């Protein structure tokens, strides 16, 4: 009976340790975005200058459509303070039309909607963040 109690206590202790370890992975900050492309142009989304330099268009925002997605900021304490960059590039001509970096928590407090319009040859991109952020 003594051996059974020790095994049960060991299993319980292991389960508690595993539960604590797994809970630290749940401390993940992320942002849900909506890109509202009101133009007839395909727009590419990048998160870094490195991605822009590599070229291509791995993450597409289709013309005349809303595209939603979730972007992770990081794990653990302080993840909401990690900077999150959004770079939008017109696929045709590879022209940068939007570039903004804010802390994850700033994006989280907004409605997280980025609207892409066009006036003539110029793109007009607005976000749900105030200019004072």
pLDDT at position 26: 62
Measured CA to CA in angstroms, residue 104 lies from 73, 80, 81 at distances of 6, 5, 6
Cβ atoms of 118 and 43 within 8 Å: the answer is no
E strands, 1-133, are: 28-37, 43-46, 60-61, 65-75, 83-90, 95-103, 113-119, 122-127
Query: What is the rounded distance in angstroms from the CA atom of residue 78 to the CA atom of residue 104?
Result: 10
Domain boundaries, the chain: 28-127
pLDDT in tens, the chain (133 residues): 555 555 555 555 554 554 444 444 567 899 999 999 999 999 999 988 888 888 888 899 999 999 999 999 999 888 999 999 999 999 988 899 999 999 999 999 888 899 999 999 999 999 988 654 4
Q: Would you state the CATH architecture of domain 28-127?
A: Sandwich (2.60)
pTM above 0.85, yes or no: no
pLDDT at position 3: 53
């Amino acid at each position: 009976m003594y051996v059974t109690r020790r095994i049960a206590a060991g299993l319980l202790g292991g389960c508690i340790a595993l539960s604590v370890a797994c809970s630290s992975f749940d401390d993940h900050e992320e942002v849900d975005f909506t890109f509202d492309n009101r133009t007839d142009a395909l727009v590419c989304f990048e998160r870094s200058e490195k991605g822009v330099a590599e070229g291509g268009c791995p993450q597409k925002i289709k013309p005349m459509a809303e595209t939603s997605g979730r972007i992770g900021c990081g794990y653990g304490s302080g993840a909401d303070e990690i900077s999150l960059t959004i770079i939008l590039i017109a696929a045709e001509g590879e022209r940068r039309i939007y570039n903004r970096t804010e802390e994850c928590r700033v994006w989280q407090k907004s409605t997280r909607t980025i609207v892409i319009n066009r006036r003539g040859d110029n793109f007009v991109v607005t976000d749900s963040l105030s200019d004072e952020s």
